[in-house]
Amino acid sequence: MGRDLFRRVIADYSTTDRMEALTAQEQLADALTAAHDDEEAERAYRKTLDLIAASPTGRSGTSGATELSLAELLLRSSDPSKVNESATLLGAIEPEIEQMSMFRNLVLRYYVARARVSKSLRRDDVTRYAELALMIAAETTPSIPRHPDVGRPDATPELVAELKQLAGGSGLIGCSNT
């Protein structure tokens, strides 16, 4: 039902209100990802990136993390070329992620994805990215004091265990999400 509404907004507003269509396109991709319709979600994220590239306002109307969402989705695939594409996407958005320091939840997702890519590609930096993710996962101080839940990293015990394994079993001081 919600996905049909997103599709209708995309169809109805793609020529008149591109920002509404762009917003709906990314939300459709997110909904398809949540429903594990990976092929359709991938197409929807790619369409979102095309709309961003064609938009005079760029990422306005989106989460600002479309490439991250697509990279995370591609990592769910067993196709090695998709892992390489994830690495490319993550490398391309690194400057944007560095500017999003208040949104620690996005930074955590980014470092988790980087660690997973590094593991898949057998790179030497897997430990570094896993340790950075663990440090963010352990944060308890809100980055936006007036809105304590906005941007707050949310790491499940399973994610923390995965990150510790990726970090070579190192138990970072202060990481109490176990």
pLDDT digits (tens, 9 = 90+) for 122-159: 999 999 999 999 999 999 888 888 999 999 999 999 99
pLDDT digits (tens, 9 = 90+) for 56-79: 888 888 998 999 999 999 999 878
Same domain assignment for residues 177 and 107: yes
Same domain assignment for residues 51 and 90: no
- pTM for the model stands at 0.89
Same domain assignment for residues 30 and 100: no
Give the domain extent around 6: 1-62
Q: Quick one: average pLDDT of 44-57?
A: 92
6 domain-assigned: yes
Amino acid letter, residue 22: L
70 domain-assigned: no
Tell me how far apart the alpha carbons of residues 1 and 80 are, in angstroms, rounded to a whole number.
34
Same domain assignment for residues 102 and 170: yes
Please name which of 11, 96, 94, 104 lies closest in space to residue 59, comparing C-alpha atoms. 96
Q: What is the DSSP string of 43-57?
A: HHHHHHHHHHHH-TT
118 domain-assigned: yes
Please report the pLDDT score of residue 57 as a whole number: 87
Angle between helices 18-34 and 2-13 (to 10 degrees): 150
Tell me how far apart the alpha carbons of residues 129 and 110 are, in angstroms, rounded to a whole number.
9
> Helix, strand, or coil here: 73?
helix
Same domain assignment for residues 49 and 123: no
Contact predicate 86/75, CB 8 Å? yes
Please report the pLDDT score of residue 89 as a whole number: 97
Same domain assignment for residues 50 and 90: no
Q: Is 178's pLDDT higher than 50?
A: no
Count: domains in the chain: 2
